[in-house]
Structure 1
Amino acid sequence: MNEMLTMMRGAAERTSALVESLRDDELGLPTPCAEYDVKALLAHLEWGADLFVSLADDGGMPPQKEYTGDFRERAERMLAAWEKPEAWEGASRTMGLPKPVLANMALTDLVAHGWDLAKATGRDYGVEERTAAALLEFASKMAPTGRERGAFGPEVPVPDDAPVLDRFLGVIGRDPAWKP
């Protein structure tokens, strides 16, 4: 729990700082998530933070809402929910998955969409090597389920000697070389 929570904190901080650096004139830019422009992806990130708060508390699916600009506050609530030991126990009634799997999904969401936003807006987005390795290991195991549930796209071939973050991105269906 502690190592995962540390990685979640780092990803939440990195993604929050990126979100806060975005300008209004960038909200309409395309992202590596073809169905989302920057503004729609921000709304999805905000909803995702709410979702992982609810799942940590054994709640249901929150309604999707429009972009409000309060991602950092939502991410902080998400982290607070996962700081409770009971958030890591048992399985989610809503998704039927073990709670530690949901924490990995939260980390995946933070990093993948942080990277998406960075690529869309020409910014850098890096993660610690241990976080990238944990993400690659998780995504490699969850890829079939992730594709079935629509969370991951078709795998993008990435060389075995590519950076670990790039290999993670390829597994979840992102092209590390994507350009707008």
Structure 2
Amino acid sequence: MRRATERTAALVRTVVRTMGQERLGDPTPCAEFDVRGLINHLEWVAELFESLGEGGPRVEQGPYAGDFPERAERTLAVWARPEAWQGTSPAMGLPMTTLAHMFLVDMVVHGWDLARAVGVPYEPDAEAVERALSFTGQMVEMGRKRGAFGPPVAVPDDAPPFDRLLGVIGRDPAWKP
């Protein structure tokens, strides 16, 4: 969780601080978001999983703030506590370990979405990819029903694990802006 989040936070920092406002309208592989919308989604994800990790409520998405790296650090601090991983979320009705994996998938995949959108290299953590791939394999149908994943994209059986993860959740590993 930490490595995947830190990679995505560093990427967001680069986009927000060095690429300027003109890149915020660029399209992303996540069809519902441009770069600004994707970063705003990441801000909400961090805030949501911080609250859930503390046993708190589901929070609503606020306006774009450009502070994802700071929010991500707070989220990681909450999930660094062993008790965050125990039991079931009162707000979501899911095991805390399931929520942690949901957060991991968001960090890994949306990091790629952002990198691909702005044309910078992205190499996800191999262990994070394996965990995310295993988790999505178990949760893909529920994810599709809830609108979190799109229809599968065909990738070769011998494709790298990250390409298979992208295909399972409905992303085309060959996507280009």
Per the alignment, residue 74 of structure 2 pairs with 77
Identity over aligned residues, as a percent? Answer: 58
Please report how far the alpha carbon of residue 71 of structure 1 lies from its aligned counterpart in structure 2 after TM superposition.
Answer: 0.8
Structure 1 position 35, deviation (Å):
1.2
Greater Cα shift, 123-132 or 52-61: 123-132
Tell me the C-alpha RMSD between the 2 structures: 0.9
Q: SS where residue 130 of structure 1 aligns?
A: helix
Quote the residue 2:141 is aligned against: 144
Q: How far did residue 63 of structure 1 move?
A: 2.1
**Structure 1 position 100, deviation (Å):** 0.4
Amino acid at match of 2:57: G
CA distance in 1, matches of 2:33, 2:149: 14
TM-score (norm 2): 0.95
Q: String of CA shifts for 1:82-114, please: whole Å, max 9, x gaps.
A: 011111111111111100010000110111111
2:36 pairs with 1:52:
no
Match of 2:24 among 20, 27, 39: 27
Aligned length: 173
- For 2:115 and 2:137, the matched residues in 1 are separated by 23
Structure 1: runs of 5+ lacking an equivalent: 1-7
Choose the corresponding residue for 1:99, options 69, 91, 96. 96
2: CA distance between counterparts of 1:93 and 1:72?
A: 26
Q: Tell me which of 11, 27, 32 is aligned to 1:18.
A: 11
* TM-score normalised by L of structure 1: 0.93
What are the Cα deviations for residues 135-170 of structure 1, in whole angstroms up to 9, with x where unaligned?
111111110011111111111111111111110111
The residue type paired with residue 20 of structure 1 is: R
Consecutive aligned runs of 4 or more in structure 1 exceeding 6 Å deviation: none
Q: CA deviation at 1:178?
A: 0.7
Q: Deviations over 1:10-58 (max 9, x none)?
A: 1111111111111221100001111110001100000000010011111
